[in-house]
Amino acid sequence: MNFIALQMLFGDRGKYGAMIVGITFAALIMTQQPAIFFGLLSRTYSYIEDMTLPDIWVMDPTVQFVEENKPLRDTELQRVRGVAGVAWATPLFKGMLVARLPDGARKVIDVSGVDDATLIGAPNVMLEGKITDLRQDDAIILDLEASNRFATTGPDGVKHPVKVGDVLEINDHRAVVVGIAKMRRTFTTQPLAFTTYTRAMRYAPAQRRQLTYILVKAQPGAALDEITARIRRETGLAAYTAAAFKKVNLDYWMKNTGIPINFGISVMLGFLVGAAIAGQSFFNFVRESLRQFAALKAMGVRNGTLVRMVLLQAAVVGSIGYGFGIGLSALFGVAIRDSVLAYYMPWQLLLSTAAGVALIVVLAALVGIRSVIRLDPATVFRS
Amino acid sequence: MEGSDTTPAVVCRAIAKSFEVGAGKVVALRGIDLDVPLGELMMLVGPSGCGKTTLISIIAGILKPDEGCCAVLGVELASLSDNQMIDFRGRNIGFIFQSFNLLPALTIAENVAVPLIINGWERHKAARRAEAILGEMGLGGRTGDFWLSFPAASSRGLPSPALLRMSRGCWFATSRPAPSIMPRALRLWR
């Protein structure tokens, strides 16, 4: 009977296509809106994720998100280095400074000053130049986004991105671009620049405290939670594992912006619209197939078998529509890759979309099954 | 076939059936007695609305009578549970529906094979059997065609007698089939 159920489904290509389109659309919008939402949220901690070496971030206890510059005394670095279980600790400056571009325009730039000796905290992916080029005089590395956004119009009237060798001014200090790096976009979307910690101190306005973060590597096999607790206890500073610091960022933006509510509404509407389209399509299919089911019932097919046929049809339509939907979502994500739009499809999202599509299809199938069970086979004798 | 050769195909006694229509009641059958021996071809003829379809539906176990009893192939229909009735119908009763009710997504051979598939035949074996029956009827070249692609399908009902032939029981119920079916059905019957 499975064969008959599938032939009934595939046989009417118009209805079959409409159902697939309906469920594809439902799966698409159930995936796309949350993917944009998750993409935006992932940007709140992309800077932390891009720094793969440190296990623990140490900072002022009042810091709520990574772009928040609340400097520490430089001596805190030595105190952290003295905590048991710490393999190494390096300084990191992070602050918004004003850069003067080659054409004289002034732009805000998010400058990171990494440890002079080890360059820990420098970008992982270099498109041009090398990280060690930071050891040259006045050297800075721009991320690709900064290079493009700082583009200047040449004599030919064409915009040229900032390239290696160009000279900027940061706080009236010379800054020579020695490399272009690929960094993930941050939530605040500020262009990023990297230099050494000492040079960053020169670029930044003079303050009594300058150190923003202390990046810590735990000794092999050490329990991170124990070390963070020890750092907090012994220094009075905030210390988070990288994962915990990501959550701090996430929580801050979730609580202090309307993003979750706005996207929550979009996702809910998407689910409802998708459910309506997909559910209606499948229910219409079952309803329009009732006469065929009635004929089968009259010929000796039990209700249980008819129910299994409807559920099989629902499962097939749901699976195919789901596949197309998430496939289109993924293509959308690929198409907007490296653009200003955020997009992130974690496996949990794919699972939740699958659950959403399953819920829609099962609900529609249940309504259809109710009709099939209550079907009077005598209807087949009526013209 | 559930009964022996001496068992009557159909025995109906004092069958009554009425339908609620709005606030009123329409009596479709009133005290019908009917005996149909095995091997007999019987035709019910009457004006529209006289209860032919209702009687056939009761004999086929699709409707339950308000009064009276009906035995088919020696089995008292009222004694069967719903699922037993469905199984009995699947094993013993073949139909030509008024508007055929063929499944448009199936080929002619697959449509003809449906009763066997319902009775648990393996699909390919049922299809081969259906093709053989269609071949006997001179439709061997059209077994892979779809019903709707059949020329003037709805008016000629070409494979319908083959559907009857696939019923393994000894009789069938039908209701106002297309006129063109009957000569073929009768030929098949003979």
Q: Residue A83 to residues A58, A59, A76, A88, A324: CA-CA distances in angstroms?
A: 12, 15, 11, 10, 53
Residues A171-193: pLDDT tens digits?
Answer: 888 999 999 998 888 887 788 99
Does A3 touch chain B if contact means CB atoms closer than 8 Å? yes
pLDDT at residue B166 in the model: 47
Residues of B in contact with A300 (CB under 8 A): 86-91, 93, 115, 118-119
| Residue type, position B104, single letter | P
The domain limits of chain A are 2-43+258-381, 61-236
**What's the average model confidence in pLDDT over B6-31?**
85
pLDDT at residue A359 in the model: 86
Q: Can you spell out the DSSP letters for chain B?
A: --S-TTS-SEEEEEEEEEEEETTEEEEEEEEEEEEE-TT--------TTSSHHHHHHHHTTSS--SEEEEEETTEEGGGS-HHHHHHHHHHHEEEE-TT----TTSBHHHHHHHHHHHTT--HHHHHHHHHHHHHHTT-GGGTTSBGGGSTTHHHH-TTHHHHHHH--SSEEEE-S--TTHHHHHHHHH-
CA distance from start to end of chain B: 19
More confident residue, B19 or A208: B19
Cβ pair A7:B101 closer than 8 A: no
User: A334 with A33: CB under 8 angstroms?
Assistant: no
- CA-nearest residue to A290 within chain B is B101
pLDDT at residue B109 in the model: 80
Residues B162-186: pLDDT tens digits?
Answer: 455 444 443 444 444 445 445 555 5
- C-alpha atoms less than 13 angstroms from C-alpha of B81 in its C-beta half-sphere: 3
- Give pTM, 2 decimals: 0.70
3-class DSSP string for A156-223: CCCEECCCCCCEEEECCEEEEEEEEEECCCCCCCCCEEEEEHHHHHHHCCCCCCCECEEEEEECCCCC
Residues of A in contact with B86 (CB under 8 A): 297, 300-303
Write phi, then psi, for A334 (nearest 5 degrees). -65, -40
The whole-angstrom distance between residue A107's C-alpha and the CA centroid of its chain comes to 27
Pairing state between β B10-21 and A152-153: unpaired
Cβ pair A4:B89 closer than 8 A: no
Crossing angle of helices A259-288 and A347-373, rounded to 10°: 30
Which long-range contacts (C-beta less than 8 Å, at least 24 apart) are formed by A242-248? A242/A48, A242/A49, A242/A51, A242/A54, A242/A55, A242/A56, A242/A57, A245/A45, A245/A48, A245/A57, A245/A66, A246/A44, A246/A45, A246/A48, A246/A49, A248/A63, A248/A64, A248/A65
Residues A210-245: pLDDT tens digits?
Answer: 889 999 999 998 889 999 999 999 999 999 999 999
Cβ pair B62:A3 closer than 8 A: no
Q: Which residue has 């690709």 as its token pair?
A: A144
Does B48 touch chain A if contact means CB atoms closer than 8 Å? no
Cβ pair B118:A383 closer than 8 A: no
pLDDT at residue A113 in the model: 92
- CA-nearest residue to A11 within chain B is B105
ipTM, two decimals: 0.72
| Out of A178-187, A316-325, A336-345, B70-79, least confident range | A336-345
More confident residue, A190 or B138: A190
Q: Tell whether the model's pLDDT for residue A117 goes beyond 70.
A: yes
Pairing state between β A106-114 and A192-196: parallel
CB-closest option in A1, A7, A382 to B105: A7
Residues of B in contact with A13 (CB under 8 A): none
Residues of A in contact with B95 (CB under 8 A): 298-299, 380
User: A242 with A48: CB under 8 angstroms?
Assistant: yes
Query: What share of chain A in percent tops pLDDT 90?
Result: 26
**What's the average model confidence in pLDDT over A158-180?**
89
Beta-carbon contacts of residue A170 (< 8 Å; ≥ 6 apart): A97, A98, A99, A100, A109, A111, A140, A193, A203
Q: Tell whether the model's pLDDT for residue B152 goes beyond 50.
A: no
Residues of A in contact with B53 (CB under 8 A): 381-382
Rg of the Cα trace of chain B? 17
- Order of strands across the sheet that contains B75-76: B24-36, B10-21, B67-72, B75-76
**What's the average model confidence in pLDDT over B90-94?**
79
pLDDT at residue B98 in the model: 62
Q: How confident is the model at residue A267 (pLDDT cuts 50, 70, 90)?
A: confident
Residues A16-69: pLDDT tens digits?
Answer: 888 888 888 888 888 888 888 888 888 888 888 888 888 999 999 988 888 887
pLDDT at residue B154 in the model: 41
Q: Tell whether the model's pLDDT for residue B158 goes beyond 60.
A: no
Helix/strand/coil percentages in chain A, nearest 5: 55, 20, 30
Dihedral (CA of A170, A172, A173, A177) sign = positive
Query: What share of chain B in percent tops pLDDT 70?
Result: 66
Q: Tell whether the model's pLDDT for residue B93 goes beyond 70.
A: yes
C-alpha–C-alpha distance, residues B108 and B122, integer Å: 17
Q: Tell whether the model's pLDDT for residue A118 goes beyond 70.
A: yes
Q: Tell whether the model's pLDDT for residue B106 goes beyond 90.
A: no
Closest CA to B116 of B47, B169, B69, B41: B169
Cβ pair A7:B123 closer than 8 A: no
User: B107 with B36: CB under 8 angstroms?
Assistant: no
In chain B, the domains with their CATH numbers are: 1-79 (3.40.50.300), 100-190 (3.40.50.300)
Q: Tell whether the model's pLDDT for residue B117 goes beyond 50.
A: yes
User: B94 with B167: CB under 8 angstroms?
Assistant: yes
Selected for mutation to probe chain B from A13, A288, A289, A299 (highest B CB count within 10 Å) is: A299
CB-closest option in B63, B101, B106 to A378: B63
